């Protein structure tokens, strides 16, 4: 299982939100590059970078700090937030992204996922962010009527190699993942499922690994110190 330290960028700063609420952004680093250096120095294998302004506005906003991270840190970077067209996806892929993440556009334009998955294979992931099993879009501002597991199976059939599954109600709450929902997702598809939302302790990491998750995104738990990245990597 791969651990992905999260660097969420809002107005140029490294922040964490609670349940996706933009009015509850807590700043941890004025410069996101400092966060990237910290996690890289502690042994991270990947970084997960999200342009929160981009997710909200539908187009990349924090391109400069993302580019700084990719050019300064010798690690593959998984990038999401505001990637809703093939041109935008290819800008980041050409820039050197290890993987790009399609969120809202995957729901609104599924053909985009198929085009990118065929062309770039394992450098493309879909993010399914669910509330009560239904997928939310537009920076989690709107909840659709789409079932997360059904969508995951649909994208797997298109040739997708990886997906990120987040339970919005647990994100940033430091209360543990939605275990039932995560178990169902891992068992329902045969692709690389990256767990996100609520991972708080080393035991959570161990349980996700035992469950068969292919990856785990660590956010507030790293920034608040409830998980030590070096110890988590040993797990």
pLDDT of 141 higher than 70: no
Q: Which residue of the set 8, 51, 167, 171 is catalytic? A: 8
Q: Is 122 a catalytic residue?
A: no
What does the pLDDT read at residue 197? 84
SS percent in the chain: helix, strand, coil, step 5:
40, 30, 30
The domain containing residue 123 runs over which residues?
2-234
Q: Is 129 a catalytic residue?
A: yes
**Sequence-ordered list of residues with C-beta below 8 angstroms from that of 111, at least 6 positions apart, any chain:** none
Sign, CA dihedral 124-107-164-77, equals positive
CATH number, position 41: 3.20.20.70
Section 171-186 average pLDDT: 77
Start-to-end CA span in the chain (Å): 9
Number of folded domains that form the chain: 1
Q: What's the predicted TM-score (pTM) here?
A: 0.92
Q: How confident is the model at residue 138 (pLDDT cuts 50, 70, 90)?
A: low
Section 47-56 average pLDDT: 94
What does the pLDDT read at residue 120? 94
Q: Which residue of the set 51, 129, 167, 204 is catalytic? A: 129
Section 175-185 average pLDDT: 85
pLDDT digits (tens, 9 = 90+) for 65-105: 999 999 999 999 999 999 999 999 999 999 999 999 998 88
pLDDT of 218 higher than 90: yes
Q: What is the CA radius of gyration of the chain?
A: 16
């Amino acid at each position: 299982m791969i651990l992905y330290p999260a660097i969420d960028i809002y107005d140029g700063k490294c922040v964490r939100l609670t349940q996706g609420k933009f009015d509850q952004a807590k700043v941890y680093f004025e410069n996101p590059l400092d966060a990237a250096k910290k996690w890289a120095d502690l042994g991270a294998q990947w970084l997960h970078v999200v342009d929160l302004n981009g997710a909200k506005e539908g187009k990349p906003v924090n391109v400069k700090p993302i580019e700084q991270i990719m050019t300064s840190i010798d690690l593959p970077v998984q990038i999401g937030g505001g990637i809703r067209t093939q041109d935008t996806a290819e800008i980041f892929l050409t820039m050197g992204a290890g993987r790009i993440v399609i969120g809202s556009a995957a729901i609104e334009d599924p053909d985009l996922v198929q085009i990118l998955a065929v062309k770039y294979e394992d450098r493309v992931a879909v993010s399914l962010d669910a509330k009560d099993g239904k997928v939310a879009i537009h920076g989690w501002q709107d909840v659709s009527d789409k079932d997360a597991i059904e969508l995951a199976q649909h994208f797997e059939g298109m040739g997708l190699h990886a997906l990120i599954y987040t339970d919005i109600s647990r994100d940033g709450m430091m209360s543990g993942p939605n275990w039932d929902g995560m178990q169902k997702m891992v068992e329902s598809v045969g692709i690389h499922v990256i767990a996100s939302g609520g991972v708080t302790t080393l035991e959570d990491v161990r349980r996700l690994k035992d469950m068969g998750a292919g990856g785990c995104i660590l956010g507030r738990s790293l920034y608040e110190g409830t998980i030590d990245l070096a110890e988590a990597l040993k797990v």
